[in-house]
Structures are given as C-alpha cells and as structure tokens.
Amino acid sequence: MPTRPGTPRLLRQLNDRAALELLLSSGPLTRAELGEYTGLSKVTAGQLLSRLQDRGLVAVVGEQAGGRGPNAALYGVVPSCAYVAGLDVLPGRISAGVADITGTLVAEVAADPSGHDDPVRLVRSALGQACEAAGIGVDRLRAFVIGTRGVVDPGTGDVRFSFDLPSWHNGVLAELRRDLGVPVTIENDVNLAALAERSYGAALGVDDFVLVWAGVGQGLGVMLGGRLHRGFTGGAGEIGWLPVPGEPLPTDVSEPQSGSFQRLVGGDAVAGLASAHGIGFAPGADPDADSVGEHVRTAVAQGAEAFLDELAGRLAIGVAAVAVVLDPGLIVLSGDVGRAGGDALADRVQDAVARFCPSRPRVMVSRVRGNPVLRGALVSALHQAREQVFSDTV
C-alpha cells in the first residue's frame, strides 16, 4: 500500500503540538517525562525537543536531580516566543494588556478615550502604550482581541451595533487590520468575560454554564459544549430585552435601556431600589466611579437583607428564564452588581430561582481576578496564537 504523502510531517506536527501543550499545562519536564506522558520513545522525544529548541520555542530551564548519573535537563516553553494583546473598550475607559505565550500578563495599562472619536486611532494609541510597557513592538504580536459592548456580527466580525460606542461600525475591523498589521478580532465583552470565567474563575473547566452580567447594562455569556454560543446574528445573550411580568415592553428597540429586564435590574432600577431602602454610599467611596456597584457593595457591608432579597428576586427572573431554556447547571454572576454582591447576592439568587425553576442551577459569583473582559480577551488571543505557533513547528 502506498504511503500517503506528508504523513511523517503531519505526525511530527502533532507530536510537537502535544509536547508544547503539555509543557504549558504541566510546567518544565525532562526528556524522559515528556516521553512517558506523550507515549513517545526517548529517541523521538529527544528529536522533538531538538526541533523545538532550534525554532526558539523550547529551552533548558533547569535541572532535575535523579539517582546515579548526571542531572536531567528540564525543558520549558520560551515565554517570549510569542506575544498577544487584549483590549477592553468602554465609553469612559480603555484597558489594554499584553501576555506572553504562557499566558503570563506582561503589562497592563489604562487609557483615556476622551477626544478620540476615531476607533482606529483610539486602539492604535492604547495598543502602543501597552506594547511599550511590555517592552515589545506591535509587530511581535501574534493575535489581538478587542472586547466591546454591542453585538458583533459572527459572519463579518464587525460590530453590528453598539449603543455605547456609536463610532464602532461596519468596516472598523478591516481598518484596524490594515492599520496595525496584526491579526485583530472584535468580540462581545460579556462573551470574553465568560471565556475568562472558564479559564480562571468559578466555571473552571465547565463545558456548560451561563454568565449573567449585571450592572448598568445587562448581558449574558452562553457556553455550551465548551464553546461560546453567539446566535445567528451575534445577538445571543442580549438579556436586557427579556420580557418580564410587570414591566412594559419596549416600543422602540433602538432606544437604549428600554428592555423590560433592563428596566427591572439596570442601573436606574438598582439606584431607585437602594434609595427606597435608605442605602447610600460607603465612607470613602467615589460615587462617580461605579455608583451601581457601590450601592450593592454598601448594602452587603451594612447587612441590608431586605434590599439584597429584593434585588436577588429581580435577578432571579432572568436567571430562571435562562435556566428553563438552556438548563446549564451553573450560573455565574458577574458585572458591577454581580461582583459587588458577592456570595451574599449569589446565594439569594440561587434560593429565589429554586422556588420557581425546576432545574435549580447552582449560582456562583465570579472568581476572576482583575478585569474579566481583558482577561477573556487575552484568553481568546492566546488560543489563536497557539494555533499559529503550535501548528507550524516543522
């Protein structure tokens, strides 16, 4: 039987990729350990490591003492062999970060978007600051992911519409790619928060869960079978438009903040609820920074159970609606309100959902440290970069 052309090369690529992924997940390994974990012979493992060393992907990072004989060399992935960047774009703040191929955050900066109406100039400036802080050029980036509020068209990758970022429109993605000269992806911010939660947070390793983003605006990140569900138009997760009892239906869907669930649990609703329960701001708080989160944080600190019970009951309406349709098993609360409420709010939402939802999902607060959208952008960028680097080793 004739040998299929390219098979030896393909096998080498598969082995190299398996070795790189193992070194990233398990840390430095000896040649013998690498052979044991991958099922390769010592000779094949040695050839593999030589190839990866020649390409600058792997290096000797230490030694492991054994019994008799010389110490065994420990091999690890070279962190600087590839870099990625992420961006979290909000109307009043931009956060940018750079990570190396291992996922280690090398630099994180904040930029002021004031006076920048052009998305391309805005992104170029923020990305330049982040790369400068990381000590690398933009041309060293293998992937760059931007998180924005709004609906991203799954077909074109462009922002289809965004109430908060009106200058982000069809064509921006192509302009960014031409201007920056690096692979650029735009993704919905809540979807990225869900990716971060699965990689670092409460949904670590969970294939089916839903992230509820509760804050000034409402959003939903849906993970099914380990993959994000974006919907036909990219609009999956726009939970603010969910019809709820007692709240009027919107008469114009182009009007921001007019969705029924948004009226029930949005920023104005939470502020009104806090006022009705006599909850102000905690001493030393900056009301202009995050008034919605501060209301909830103060309520938790003061033990304002009536406020938390009512807020949880409102959030439970949306959570239950999602649970009876998707039955995800796990709901993660994130966003300003979700994170500020912590376990006190999450436990109340879980109890409230259990009273009128037959599936009774677990409800947990986000466990992602730092900016979840930026962390998710870097997770997405790392996945893309590793696909490039690990698939082109031979």
Among 329, 322, 281, smallest CA distance to 304 is for 281
Would you place residue 168 in the very low, low, confident or very high pLDDT band (cuts 50, 70, 90)? confident
Q: What is the pLDDT of residue 27?
A: 87
Query: Is the Cβ–Cβ distance between 167 and 117 less than 8 Å?
Result: yes
What is residue 2's predicted lDDT score, i.e. its pLDDT?
46
Tell me what pLDDT residue 184 has.
Answer: 96
| Greater model confidence, 13 or 76 | 76
Q: Specify the pLDDT at position 282.
A: 52
What are 206's two structure tokens? 């969970």
Task: Give the residues across from 333 on adjacent strands.
Answer: 212, 365
Q: What is the pTM of this model?
A: 0.91
H-helix segments, the chain: 7-26, 31-38, 42-54, 119-134, 172-180, 189-200, 260-265, 267-276, 291-302, 305-326, 335-356, 372-390
**What token pair was written down for 371?**
């900016």
Q: What is the mean pLDDT of residues 207-221?
A: 94
Max mean pLDDT range (1-10, 286-295, 371-380): 371-380
Contacts of 387 (CB under 8 A, 6+ apart): none
Taking residues 145-152, what's their average pLDDT? 92
Question: Can you give the pLDDT at residue 40?
Answer: 86
- Chain-wide mean pLDDT for the chain? 90
| Residue 394: band (very low, low, confident or very high) from pLDDT cuts 50, 70, 90 | low
Question: What's the CA gap between 273 and 188, in Å, rounded?
Answer: 29
Q: For residue range 264-313, list pLDDT tens digits in order.
A: 999 899 999 999 999 876 554 444 445 789 999 999 999 999 999 999 99
Top mean pLDDT of 3-7, 9-13, 40-44, 339-343 is at 339-343
pLDDT for the residue numbered 373: 97
- How far is the C-alpha of 324 from the C-alpha of 320, rounded, in Å? 6
Task: Give the model's pLDDT for residue 112.
Answer: 86
Mean pLDDT of the 132-157 span = 94
Q: State how far the alpha carbon of 284 is from the alpha carbons of 115, 270, 288, 352, in Å.
A: 30, 20, 12, 32
Q: How far is CA 287 from CA 10, 217, 284, 332, 371, in A?
A: 58, 17, 9, 26, 20
Contact 382, 99 (CB under 8 A): yes
Average pLDDT rounded to a whole number, residues 319-348: 96
Is residue 5 scored above 80 in pLDDT?
A: no
Mean pLDDT of 73-83: 94
**Which percentage of the chain shows pLDDT scores above 70?**
93
Q: pLDDT tens for residues 217-275? A: 899 999 999 999 999 999 899 999 999 988 888 877 777 678 899 999 998 999 999 99
Asked if the model's pLDDT at residue 3 lies above 60, the reply is no
Which 8-state DSSP code applies to residue 234?
S
Q: Got the DSSP string for 331-393?
A: EEEEHHHHHHHHHHHHHHHHHHHHHH-TT--EEEE----S-HHHHHHHHHHHHHHHHHHHT--
pLDDT at 4: 46
The reported pLDDT for the residue numbered 98 is: 98
**What is the average per-residue pLDDT within 164-171?**
83
What mean pLDDT is predicted for residues 135-161? 92
For the chain, percent of residues with pLDDT exceeding 90: 66
Asked whether 307 and 277 are in contact (CB, 8 A), the reply is: yes
pLDDT beyond 50 at 64: yes
Mean pLDDT on 89-113 = 94
pLDDT (0 to 100) of residue 145 = 98
Residue type, 46: G
